Amino acid sequence: MTRKNALFAGHEIGAENWALLASIVATCKLNDVNPAAYIAETLEAIIDGHPHSRIEDLMPWRFRKASSPHQ
């Protein structure tokens, strides 16, 4: 994902959403985590009622390494 792609966001809110997604994907890659698996499992945890007080548990650097694309 590059800055040129962000130019197609079309609206300020779209650009903010693009930046958020790009940040999540980049953080996952830095932590050797599959971004698609991380996003899917994190959304499932939130839907299942993961407590706000334990939000740190959902960070990419805490995501189980079994979802890594290199394993």
Taking only the tens place, the pLDDT of each residue in 40-62 is 999 999 999 999 999 999 999 99
Write out 14-31 in H/E/C secondary structure: HHHHHHHHHHHHHHHHHC
pLDDT digits (tens, 9 = 90+) for 19-41: 899 999 999 999 999 999 999 99
> pLDDT value at position 6?
55
DSSP string of 50-66, one letter each residue: --GGGGGGGSGGGS-GG
Under 8 Å between Cβ of 35 and 28: yes
- Dihedral angle sign, alpha carbons of residues 40, 36, 20, 51: positive
**pLDDT in the model for residue 16:** 84
Residue 19: closest CA among 30, 8, 6, 35: 6
Question: In this predicted model, what pLDDT tens digit does every residue of 4-22 receive, in sequence order?
Answer: 655 555 677 877 888 899 9
pLDDT of residue 68: 44
